Amino acid sequence: MSTSTGQDHGAVAGPALESQATIDAEVASIHERYAGRRANHPPRDFAPYRSSALRHPTHELVTLFPEEIERTSPAFGHVDVDPYESDLTIQHTGEPLGERMTVTGRVLDGDGRPVRNQLIEIWQANAGGRYIHKRDQHPAPLDPNFTGVGRALTGDDGSYRFTTVKPGPYPWKNHRNAWRPAHIHFSLFGQAFTQRLVTQMYFPGDPLFALDPIYQSITDPRARERLVAAYDHDETVPEFSMGYRWDIVLTGSTATWMEDEHDDE
C-alpha cells in the first residue's frame, strides 16, 4: 500500500502563501470554464492545487507493457488478507481515541454488478488529523493506538466493511491556512497492480468542501458529491459506533472519481 503518499504536507509552490480568497477565485474561474460539462476526472494541472502544476505530465505518456510491470509489482493472494485487517481499532494494545464508526458499501461496475474479491486498502489520519508520517509534523497529537491503515476483500455482493475512527481535518500548506476536509484514502487493487485505482471518501456536510482545491479540482459537482459518504443509521452499532455508507462505481456515467496515479493527497 502506498501509504507513504497519504498526506499533503509540504506541498508549497512558491515563497508566499496566497489567501483562501485567491484560491477560491481561481477555483471559481475554472469551474465557470467547465460549467455544464460532465467530467469524472479533474484537469491534471489544476492550478489552485499548487503541487499539481509541478507534477502533472507535460509530455506524451509512454506506453509500457503491463506484463513487464506485473512481473515485479506487488501481488496478493486471498489467504494474505486477514479479516481482522478491516478493523483499524484493534491493531494496538489500547483503543484509539475518536468517533468510532463503521464504513461500508459496495464496489460495483457500470452496470450495477458487484465486483467480488476486490482488495480495498484504506489509509487515513487519526481523530486529531495527524498521520504517522515523517512529513506530517503539524502540532496535532499522534495516537499510540492508531496506525490508520487497513484492508479488506469485497464479498460476493461486492460489499466491504471497515471499523475505524473518524479522521480529523488537517492543515496542508497549499495556501495560507489551507485545511483538508476529513477524508479516507481508498485504493482498489483490481486484478493486477496496473489496474489499481485510488480515490478519497469524504463525510457529509463538511464545511471545508468549498475551501478545498483538491475536492474542488473535480469540476462536475455531481462527481464531487459521489465522493461523499452517507450517514446510515442502519449501519451504526448500538452503544458502539456510527455508520457511513459509500458505494464505489468503477465505470460508466456515475463512476466514482479516481486520482491520477501521480496524485498524493
Tell me which of 131, 202, 215, 244 is the catalytic residue.
Answer: 131
Q: Parallel, antiparallel, or unpaired for β 242-245 and 179-180? A: unpaired
* Active-site entry in 49, 160, 170, 244: 170
Pairing mode, strands 149-153 and 119-124: antiparallel
- The reply to whether 41 belongs to the active site is no
Catalytic residue among 9, 100, 185, 226: 185
Of 50, 151, 175, 183, the active-site residue reads 183
CA atoms within 13 A on the CB side of 73: 16
Which residues make Cβ contacts (< 8 Å) with residue 248, sequence separation at least 6? Answer: 105, 106, 107, 108, 186, 188, 199, 256
Grid coordinates representing 151 are: 484492508
185 carries an active-site annotation: yes
Q: Active site includes 170? A: yes
Q: Is 196 a catalytic residue?
A: no
Q: Which position among 106, 130, 151, 180 bears the catalytic label?
A: 180
Distance of CA 161 to the CA centre of its chain: 16
Q: Give the SS3 label for residue 93.
A: coil
Burial label, 108 (beta-carbon count in 10 A; 0-12, 13-18, 19+): buried
- Is 226 considered catalytic here? no
Strand order in the sheet with 149-153: 149-153, 119-124, 183-188, 197-202
Catalytic site residues? 131, 170, 180, 183, 185
